[in-house]
Amino acid sequence: MTENRSFQALLQRPIEPTFMPKDNGKTSLIIPEEYLSDRYRPLAGELQTRFTGGADVEIPVRNVEIPDITFAEVIGRRAAFSLFVEKHRDIAGRLIDLFAKLPDASTLMGVATYARDRLNPYMFQYALTVALQHRPDTKDVLIPSILELFPDQFVDPSVFPKLREEGNVVQDQVKRDTVNIEPNYTASDREPEQRMAYFREDIGVNMHHWHWHLVYPAGAPPEIARKDRRGELFYYMHSQIIARYNADRFCNRLARAKPLTNLREPITEAYFPKMVRSLNNRAYPARHDNQVMRDLNRVDNDTIITVDELQRWRDRIIQAIDQGFVVDSSGTNIPLDDTRGIDILGDLVEASTLSVNKRLYGSLHNSGHDFLAYIHDPDYRYLEDFGVMGDVTTAMRDPVFYRWHGMIDGLFRRFLDTLNPYNATQLGYTGIKVNGISARVNRPNAPANMLLTYWQKTQVDLAAGLDFGPQGNVFASFTHLQHAPFTYKIKVTNSTGSLKRGTARIFLAPKVDERGTNMQFREQRQLFIELDKFGVNLKPGENTLIRKSDQSSVTVPYERSFRRIGTAETPMDQRQLAEFRFCGCGWPHHMLLPKGAPEGVQFDLYVMISNFDDDTVGQEFDETADCNDAHSFCGLRDKLYPDKRTMGFPFNRGTAAAVQTLTDFMRPYSNMASTNIKIKFTNTVIKS
């Protein structure tokens, strides 16, 4: 527990010096005088007396031998840091490697304490968090939410002066007022794309994107980056985001986001983020309408790439897909087969350290983010930092994110369409018949297949990230989409005469586009949203499966996304502590369903019971324990991905030309069923 508290204190209030009290003033780190920065070392005696007295917990930090960290000081302490910039990514990777290879947790604490006040806070936090999560002796350390540490990445900056005023003037924490964050503060309703602001600017959505890239770091050393089916997860997680975004666009009478396939055409959508970096008080630059990508000559961070290079990388990836193989760095042809092809392609397109040939195929995904992040100042003429597309915590706020990832998703779809359609053996389950599926809101007399969404106002404590601000809790409230909890009921007949094991797969897809026009299956197939996946035991005869929406294998509970981490919040019981671990990876549960509309929007709710013998990877896991409940997007920690099928099965491959509708697709298979549901939105706000 002492180590847990030590690292938690080290992570809080990331811009303040390490010697200042943390954990609402309850914890102080007693650090060796040699660890103080040049500015504060002459004041060592005064600082220790001033800042360590009165803390409930004082934790001495060991004086250890400090390795050379000057390589990481290349990135200025107050500079903008981006995981999409190759130079930054490589330096962060070296720092992760250094932290990960230190002999024990105590030495790591000493080295990290020394490094904290000398390195860029964003880079330091990222590297230390990745190392903590992947070291066997620290992987149970409770990592604070990124919202707590860097609220400026998520929140309208106009609230920070109000929070500081409230916290400093009102000493009694109980009497402090909550500061409200207004929704839709980035544009007016004259901008059609603002209808999607609730999605793009949702705090939980952006935290999910950051958290996924923390669990699956692209620039980490191969031994840390290499996880089971990591490349495939990169494809699937982002592909599902695009499907979810487009489903919500239909609900808001907007067409699908147009993939950014022409890299030289003007980008019609603009984005003005209204956000300020707390590190240097510089605003995130706006991206004006009709700007075009131009060659990058960012001498400030050695990002020198031409649009032609970006185009060549994409063309080479398309050629590899069409040929059916990639060429690795030794010149060997690696087949893109139906087992590992999508995984190889995912690492190559993202350009993680696991790419089979970065020199040939380049850094398409990451560099595309750079081009869009620096579109306002590609040659550093105006000394501007990157826009929101340059940071994993802010990229999803910009409409162009979905256009760029629409193009990236198109590459994966192109590959998947080269594979043979699934056959009857793969899709069927002899002796298993799904008689029907329904969904009902958990309220008395609620009608079947009518799901409800609305606005919810929720509070979050931002004290841990309010550097040089008041001690104690300071709350802000924000408004987000929410849905009424509901329950699935699936009726299944097992006519085999023996107990059977299966996997229930639940998907949702819009029936019509933004004009109310019915979609062909070839279009709808790419818009199926995974809602849940779970194992089932089917006794002979009739079975009724009941599954609650909050058990989803895709989402994390709302309270875990926004939980506080600190001495007072840390459970002492070991079982509770295990469940309270680093568990933030997963789609936010409040965004499980598309928004719908006041008149209701029609969707197809689909279920399939697949044969467990073809699903199993030979490991059992408890989806209710530790952090296993969002495994569809995040996998399992230190284990195989818990499903042998390709992610997105059964909708991730093409079908015969005769299949024109979902009914056509299901007709040969008794182990599938669907029903029509309506999602109705009520424009009202409730308090959590």
Six-digit token string for 195: 């209808």
What CA–CA distance (Å, rounded) separates 474 from 459?
10
CB neighbourhood size of 149 (10 A): 24
Q: Going by DSSP bridges, is the β-strand pair 57-60/27-30 parallel, antiparallel, or unpaired?
A: parallel
CB neighbourhood size of 491 (10 A): 15
What CA–CA distance (Å, rounded) separates 455 from 477?
13
State the DSSP H helix or E strand holding residue 437, giving kind and residue range, or none if neither.
strand 432-441
Residue 39's contacts (CB-CB under 8 Å, 6 or more residues apart) are none
What CA–CA distance (Å, rounded) separates 196 from 323?
38
What CA–CA distance (Å, rounded) separates 145 from 285?
25
Residue 517's contacts (CB-CB under 8 Å, 6 or more residues apart) are none
DSSP 8-state symbol, 286:
P
Which one of the listed residues 3, 148, 201, 350 is annotated catalytic?
Answer: 350
Six-digit token string for 12: 């809080």
Residue 173's contacts (CB-CB under 8 Å, 6 or more residues apart) are 472, 473
Q: Going by DSSP bridges, is the β-strand pair 587-588/333-335 parallel, antiparallel, or unpaired?
A: unpaired
- What SS3 class is residue 297? strand
- Paired with 180 in beta bridges are 477
Q: In the chain, how long is the greatest CA-to-CA distance?
A: 81
| Distance spanning both ends of the chain, measured CA to CA | 31
Q: Is 350 a catalytic residue?
A: yes
Residue 288's contacts (CB-CB under 8 Å, 6 or more residues apart) are 270, 376
What CA–CA distance (Å, rounded) separates 544 from 537?
11
**Residues with catalytic function:** 350
